[in-house]
């Protein structure tokens, strides 16, 4: 699984997440799923979605039920949610 850390550090979380969604999954995730991830995480990064609601929003809008704990999605959390 390609590591998005370099992309996150150089281009930001949004570019890192796009890279992760396009390179870490085989077969490639369908475009609506990737768009759902991007929309949910963008709302979360902009503090329009609470951390406690993140997994449910990913499930509802991206069809993802694994939670942020899997597939290295922890790399895309806001710093304040680690404390």
Q: Per-residue pLDDT for 2 more than 80?
A: no
Range(s) of the domain holding residue 50: 5-78
pLDDT, mean of residues 1-29 = 91
Residue 83 in domain: no
- Work out how many domains the chain is built from and give that number: 1
Cβ neighbors of 81 (< 8 A, separation 6 or more) are 51
Residue-by-residue DSSP string for 52-71: GGHHHHHHHHH---S-TTST
Q: Considering the domain boundaries, does residue 18 fall inside one? A: yes
Name which of 18, 29, 26 is nearest 1 in CA terms. Answer: 26
pTM for this model (two decimals) = 0.91
* Confidence label for 16 from pLDDT (cuts 50, 70 and 90): very high
Span 20-54, pLDDT tens digits: 999 999 999 999 999 999 999 999 999 999 999 99
Structure tokens at 80: 């304040």
- pLDDT tens sequence across 51-82: 999 999 999 999 999 899 999 999 999 999 87
């Amino acid at each position: 699984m390609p590591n998005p850390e370099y992309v996150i550090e150089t281009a930001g979380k949004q570019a890192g997440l796009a890279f992760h969604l396009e390179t870490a999954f085989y077969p490639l995730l369908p475009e609506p799923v990737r768009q759902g991830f991007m929309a949910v995480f963008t709302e979360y990064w902009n503090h329009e979605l609470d951390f406690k609601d993140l997994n449910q929003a990913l499930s509802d809008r991206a069809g993802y039920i694994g939670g942020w704990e899997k597939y290295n999605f922890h790399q895309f959390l806001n710093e304040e949610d680690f404390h």
